[in-house]
């Protein structure tokens, strides 16, 4: 195996680990929201949406090249939450 192949394999493993960490955090947050009384969960969810909207706006203002990725991940989180 060449060093390039090893590097690609390492990066793929790191990406998988990050994806799993993100899934763990999203699952924990969803569980926390489910544990709250409905009215508080609704307020918390709205607060989270506003925080994400603010972050997207900030990233757009800074012309961050990852703003679309953040937006897509945010949409996926709330889409999964609603199902």
Q: Which pLDDT belongs to residue 76?
A: 81
Per-residue DSSP letters for 34-67?
HHS-HHHHHHHHHHHHHHHHHHHHHHHHTT-TTH
- For the full predicted model, state whether its pTM sits above 0.85: no
Q: Which residues of the chain have pLDDT under 70?
A: 80-83
Output the pLDDT for position 55: 93
Q: How far apart are CA 57 and CA 53, in angstroms?
A: 6
Instruction: Look at residue 79 in the predicted model and tell me its pLDDT.
Output: 76
**pLDDT given at position 80:** 65
Max distance between CA atoms of the chain, in angstroms, equals: 57
Residue pLDDT, tens place only, 47-65? 998 998 999 999 999 999 9
Q: How far apart are CA 31 and CA 37, in angstroms?
A: 12
pLDDT on residue 3? 92
Element (H, E) at 31: helix 3-35
């Amino acid at each position: 195996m060449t060093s390039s192949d090893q590097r690609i394999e390492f990066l793929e493993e790191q990406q998988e680990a990050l994806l799993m960490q993100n899934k763990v955090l999203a699952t924990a947050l969803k569980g926390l929201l489910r544990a709250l009384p409905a009215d508080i969960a609704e307020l918390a969810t709205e607060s989270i949406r506003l925080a994400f909207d603010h972050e997207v706006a900030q990233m757009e203002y800074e012309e961050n090249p990852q703003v679309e990725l953040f937006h897509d991940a945010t949409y996926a989180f709330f889409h999964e939450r609603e199902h």
